[in-house]
Amino acid sequence: MILITGATGFLGTELAFQLLQTETKIRCAKREHSKIPLKLNPYANNIEWVNADILDLSDLAEAFKDVTKVFHCAALVSFETDLKKKMLAVNAEGTANVVNLCIENNIEKLVHVSSIAAIGEAKGDELITEKNFWEGFENHDGYAVSKYRGEMEVWRGINEGLNAVIVNPSVIIGEDAGKEGSGAIFETIRNGFKYYTQGGTGFVDVKDVAKTMILLMTGDIVNERFILNSENISYKDLFAKTAQIFGLPIPEKEAKPWMLNMAWRLTALKNWITKSKGGLNKATANNASKMSAYSNDKIKSALNFDFIPLQESITKIANSLKSA
């Protein structure tokens, strides 16, 4: 039996969907009040849904009964500073629970979803690779710290005899994201956003992330980590490509770092006065001005894998939003 944690999330749903093209039965763990995605409704007879919070060891232990392989997708993704403690619990302590149960139940293999946030920086203009190790807790936001600590739990499990593979996706995009998560980037452009920032990063289609995870699970590779990244692109070029597909003017105003720094401080002040949350913060402002480029050579070589071109993904996302 295959178990997926976080199966109602964007990636977990796509992973379950792809597995069900060949598997007759899988087990999917979700939180009690999480809704089952519409995409998985046609497979109601092929999915055994279990309510299991990864921080509740007793519930999670039940989900592991008769399981042989585990895809760990459950995570809390946020750049809100007041969620740091919760992210550390879910992304690090929750992963520790999964790793411990994998060891106790002699699981054949664990495929763990980490993030490029847990990868270190490269020197100069070099591409970031799996060999760039993370340094300096004080220099990273709460999400990055939590994902790094989660990875460390998997490496600890590997040292205790667990067969595992870690994947570090860049920004995961796809037409099923709608207006949430990474989909909000494209919806913002659709609404006529006129600014761009100096930074940039890597992007990868959710279909490719799920596909590579399945290939890594079924293959012989163990005790390795892989960056999953289709292409690196500046936000200026990303916004321009997206605007063109929507038939909108290309954003031509640059939001300079000093402007972003002022904006996040004003947002913080507004949130403090109004007792509200959300909007631009220090972490998102810094990321918007930073260019980080990632190598995908290792995964392409290991699996002879070709990623979906970014232009194709953007086009499908834009068309999906236009028809929503």
One pLDDT digit (tens) per residue for the chain, 324 residues: 999 999 999 999 999 999 999 999 999 998 888 889 999 999 999 999 999 988 988 889 989 999 999 999 999 887 676 777 888 888 999 999 999 999 999 999 999 999 998 998 887 788 999 998 877 655 567 788 899 999 999 999 999 999 999 999 999 999 888 878 888 888 888 887 777 677 889 999 999 999 999 999 999 999 999 999 999 998 888 888 998 998 888 888 776 665 555 544 544 444 545 555 555 555 665 666 678 899 999 999 999 999 999 999 999 998 888 876
For residue 66, how many other CB atoms are within 10 A of its CB?
8
Q: Which amino acid appears at position 208 of this protein?
A: D
What pLDDT, on the 0 to 100 scale, is given for residue 269?
Answer: 44
Smallest Cα–Cα separation from 52: which of 61, 60, 64, 44?
60
Q: Which is it for the CA torsion 144, 55, 100, 51, positive or negative?
A: negative
What pLDDT, on the 0 to 100 scale, is given for residue 292?
Answer: 87
What pLDDT, on the 0 to 100 scale, is given for residue 270?
Answer: 47
What pLDDT, on the 0 to 100 scale, is given for residue 257?
Answer: 67
What pLDDT, on the 0 to 100 scale, is given for residue 275?
Answer: 57
Find the angle CA(253)-CA(169)-CA(254) to the nearest 5 degrees.
5
What pLDDT, on the 0 to 100 scale, is given for residue 138?
Answer: 52
What pLDDT, on the 0 to 100 scale, is given for residue 124?
Answer: 75
What pLDDT, on the 0 to 100 scale, is given for residue 281?
Answer: 54
Beta bridge partners of 233: 201
Domains of the chain: 2-178+200-232+293-308 (3.40.50.720)
- Whether the pTM exceeds 0.85: the reply is yes
